């Protein structure tokens, strides 16, 4: 076994109201379950205290790591650079705003006993998407279309809450997606490479503090283009 069991990668922009509490909750859930973990926060020029808070925590807990990017943006490349910096045998991607429940991380991690990739899903029995109606409808329609284009069995391919073995990351290589399309890039490439996937329901909570940086209408088009590119050029 490697020194680190689980690396949790969290992209952030202005999440000072969430990040300390999230790191604390992850520590409670993972360390208390006997897992050696690390948290890699990839921050893009937050103008609030996000980066300062993470570096303060990392000074007392070396399992918490900060990658501060300057003049850069994009969840996709943040996740990829977080992967490159991480050491865990298992890697988990999650948002900083509690939309992905920290208490569900160990459920995804446990699924790694039987599968190579575990996809957190809002769109299967037991899962739920709590968000404004327009956002829910657009997300559902987008997921239907993406499933068709990429021929996926997974019901939620844009959720961003995924656990994967490091061997999967080593095989699929660079993540080219710029934003939340990293989710279906990982799902599609790992499926195409022959890895096993499972879907685990989770209840998505709409953020209660801080602001969403997603414009789903704009991203809808970006996602469609990127799905078509994946289909035409990947592997
Ligand atoms: N590093 C990085 N993180 C980002 C960027 N945009 C959003 N995030 C983070 O990615 C996660 C999801 O973003 P969020 O704004 O909540 O989007 P939404 O959940 O789709 O409304 C949060 O943790 C954000 O702080 C970015 O450009 N760079
Ligand atoms: Mg969010």
**Residue 1 included in any domain:** no
* Residue 102 pLDDT exceeds 90: yes
CATH of residue 113: 3.90.550.10
Q: Please tell me the predicted confidence (pLDDT) of residue 16.
A: 98
Q: Please tell me the number of the ligand nearest to residue 14's CA.
A: 1
| Count of structural domains within the chain | 1
Residue 10 lies in a domain: yes
The whole domain housing 163 covers 6-233
Rounded CA-CA distance 88/108 in Å is 14
**Tens digit of each residue's pLDDT (9 = 90 or more) over 27-46:** 999 998 899 999 999 999 99
In-domain check, residue 184: yes
Q: Which percentage of the chain shows pLDDT scores above 90? A: 90
**pLDDT tens profile 197-230:** 999 999 999 999 888 887 777 888 899 999 999 9
Alpha carbon nearest to ligand 1 atom 16, residue: 212
The pTM score is: 0.96
Q: Is 179 in the pocket of ligand 1 (CB under 6 A)?
A: no
Across residues 98-108, what is the average pLDDT?
97
pLDDT at residue number 149 = 97
Rounded CA-CA distance 128/200 in Å is 11
Considering every ligand atom, which ligand is closest to the CA of 81? 1
Predicted local distance difference test score (pLDDT) of residue 1? 44
Q: Which token pair is 133?
A: 């109606």
81 lines ligand 1 (CB under 6 A): no
Residue 148 — very low, low, confident or very high, per pLDDT cuts 50/70/90? very high
| Per-residue pLDDT tens over the stretch 65-91 | 999 999 999 999 999 999 999 999 999
């Amino acid at each position: 076994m490697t020194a680190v069991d689980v690396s949790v990668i969290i992209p952030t922009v202005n999440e000072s109201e969430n990040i300390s509490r999230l790191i604390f909750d992850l520590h409670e859930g993972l360390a208390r379950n006997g897992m050696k973990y690390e948290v890699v926060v990839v921050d893009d020029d937050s103008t609030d205290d996000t980066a300062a808070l993470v570096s303060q925590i990392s000074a007392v807990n070396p399992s918490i790591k900060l990658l501060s990017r300057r003049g850069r943006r994009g969840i996709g490349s943040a996740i990829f650079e977080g992967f490159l910096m991480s050491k865990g045998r298992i890697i988990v991607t999650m948002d900083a705003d509690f939309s992905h429940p920290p208490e569900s991380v160990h459920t995804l991690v446990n699924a790694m006993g039987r599968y190579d990739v575990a996809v957190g899903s809002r769109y299967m029995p037991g899962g739920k998407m709590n968000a404004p109606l327009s956002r829910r409808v657009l997300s559902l329609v987008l997921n239907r279309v993406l499933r068709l284009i990429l021929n996926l069995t997974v019901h939620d391919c844009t959720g961003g809450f995924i656990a994967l073995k490091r061997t999967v990351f080593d095989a699929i290589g660079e993540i080219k997606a710029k934003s939340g399309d990293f989710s279906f890039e990982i799902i599609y490439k790992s499926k195409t490479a022959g890895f096993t996937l499972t879907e685990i329901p989770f209840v998505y909570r709409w953020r209660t503090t801080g602001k969403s940086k997603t414009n789903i209408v704009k991203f809808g088009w970006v996602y469609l283009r990127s799905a078509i590119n994946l289909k035409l050029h990947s592997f």
